[in-house]
Amino acid sequence: MTKSATLTVKDGKIRSSINALLKDLLDKQVVEAILVPLAHPAGNNVVQGLVTNPEYAEQADVFAPVMPVNTGRIIQAMTRLTPANKKTAVVMRPCELRALVELVKLRQAQLDNLYLIGIDCPGAYSVSDYVKFAAEKTSDDFLKAAWNGKEDPMLRAACQVCEYPVPLMTDLTVGLVGQDLGKGLVLLASTEKGKELLEGLGLTAEEDSQAATQRQTAVDQLLDKMKGIREKFFERTKEEIGGIDKLAAVFGPCIKCQNCRVACPVCYCRECFFISPTFELEAEKYLGAAEKKGAMRMPTDTLLFHLTRMTHMAASCIGCGACEEACPNDIPLLKIFQLTGTNVQKLFDYIPGRSLEDELPPTAFKEEELEWIGEK
Amino acid sequence: MAEGSNGFEPKIIGFLCNWCTASAADLAGTTRAQYPPNLHPIRVMCSGTVDPVYLIKSLLSGADAVMVGGCHPGDCHYVSGNYKARRRMAMLQNIFESLGLDANRIWTRWISASEGPEFAAAVREITEETKKQGPNPLSADWAL
């Protein structure tokens, strides 16, 4: 049963109210470390920082609209070899949490000793847009504007069509949706670990609070709205990229740098097939292959790379848009990978990042399914 | 050899399971079953070993169709390889459909070692269908 508590926003200042709470977590030794977005001292970025000294919690900026790296990747780097040996809270956006859940299922990360704090996410800008934004405005300005319901064209493409702007699997949720941000946020503990955090902070947790009910109603409406937006987005995308000619044009600017693969949180292979010796060929092989078509694009296998990546990770694509952010030539990767990913996920009735119990589609099977395969 | 009306002879790459479909191909040969020579067979130990990258690479490098041949569901020599292959084939076809590419150039057939005539029939069917579809535009494009 979910329990909730109120986080009072003092003087309308959301960032400092949350930071006081984070500082409390360390001061009261509820946890020993927190992985949280910290304002870079230069003021031009907000990056994940692993904080052990409570003083640094004051530099946290959880709702700053920027996500330079999907935090799922960071936790993979931290816990792939051994789980955290100290109680560590991690503050993450919904898509980062979903990436983490997929990575755990792929045996690339471990949740032991981690306290997952998910935030209701109003979205993020690209890093370069955030630099411009941060020169003039704060995350509190952003939140207030985001919550008056106006469209924000500067949001990353991924955020504009986000399927789940609220956490699916988390210990504690920092709930904004349906709340009066000038006054308070709702903290929802859905697991024992989440309740442990609330208790450690000395907050009174109650069941079925008015704030929690209000949030749920607003979340349902929000998810419904996003569903409608996504349906139109997919229709548009099919029109824009469908068919070999349009697809070839989309990948025309690709330089096969593979940044998209490196940035993708669920593309986890330590040794990617595409940087393996399979693609280190003798000159005669290149020349022979070129002779077949009369001309051959170099570097080779551009579309093969993207299509193969799709078949490998479509089922786990959580739509965070890290691929698109990493592309130096603005290829609209998010829309392509979300279109194919969502359809593959529908095929297997799978929602990536929802639960540790849902089996990864490529590793599982049912005896009775997909009967048309083999018959056409 | 019967040619298509336009003289187009499709090239089909088949990834055939050692225990079932590849044996069926042998049987088709030893029993002199007639089927077109368009299928280029590659024997694999299990349909479950076929990563979609082989199929995509084939389609981008000159194949007009690809086929994966495995044991009937439930009969896998390695218990569940063909079930996993079935999911992968469904995924690959689904992705091709989403992108508006020719998903119907991707074939799967479950043919057991004793089904020589069925193997010959499958090759006939795939060859005829691919002839109707014409050359694969993916394999002709130099810039992909």
Specify whether A168 is located in the same domain as A42: yes
N-to-C CA span, chain A: 46
Specify whether A41 is located in the same domain as A77: yes
Taking CA–CA distances from B60, the nearest residue in chain A reads A304
> Where among A231, A246, A267 does a domain terminate?
A231
Report residue A81 as tokens: 């070899």
Tell me how far apart the alpha carbons of residues B47 and B18 are, in angstroms, rounded to a whole number. 9
Structural domains in chain A (count): 2
> So what's the pLDDT on residue A168?
97
Specify whether A38 is located in the same domain as A102: yes
Specify whether A35 is located in the same domain as A146: yes
> So what's the pLDDT on residue A270?
87
| Average confidence (pLDDT) per 10 residues, chain A, 376 residues | 93 95 97 98 95 97 97 97 98 98 97 98 96 96 84 94 97 96 94 97 92 96 96 96 96 97 94 92 94 93 96 97 97 97 97 97 95 84
Q: Are the C-beta atoms of residues A258 and A272 closer than 8 Å to each other?
A: yes
Domains of chain B: 12-131 (3.40.50)
How far A136 CA sits from the closest chain B CA (Å)? 41
Whether residue A368 is contained in a domain is answered as: no
Specify whether A223 is located in the same domain as A241: no
Mutation test of the interface with chain B: which of A261, A365, A371, choosing the one with the most B Cβ atoms within 10 A? A365
pTM for this one? 0.95
Tell me how far apart the alpha carbons of residues A65 and A123 are, in angstroms, rounded to a whole number. 6
Its domain, for residue A140, covers 3-231
Within an 8 Å CB–CB cutoff, is residue B84 touching chain A? yes
Whether residue A376 is contained in a domain is answered as: no
Whether residue A371 is contained in a domain is answered as: no
Q: How many other C-beta atoms are found inside a 10 Å radius of the C-beta of residue A195? A: 18
Mutation test of the interface with chain B: which of A275, A307, A344, A369, choosing the one with the most B Cβ atoms within 10 A? A307
Whether residue A273 is contained in a domain is answered as: yes
Specify whether A62 is located in the same domain as A178: yes
Q: What is the pLDDT along chain B (144 residues), one digit of tens a residue?
A: 444 456 899 999 999 999 999 999 999 999 999 999 999 999 999 999 999 999 999 999 999 999 999 999 999 999 999 999 999 999 999 999 999 999 999 999 999 999 999 999 999 999 999 999 999 999 989 999
Does the interface ipTM go beyond 0.90?
Answer: yes
Within an 8 Å CB–CB cutoff, is residue B132 touching chain A? no
Specify whether A213 is located in the same domain as A320: no
Specify whether A224 is located in the same domain as A262: no
Specify whether A103 is located in the same domain as A194: yes
Q: Are the C-beta atoms of residues A114 and A82 closer than 8 Å to each other?
A: no
Specify whether A60 is located in the same domain as A188: yes
> So what's the pLDDT on residue A1?
79
Whether residue A372 is contained in a domain is answered as: no
The three-class DSSP label of residue B100 is coil
Tell me how far apart the alpha carbons of residues A309 and A76 are, in angstroms, rounded to a whole number. 20
> So what's the pLDDT on residue B1?
43
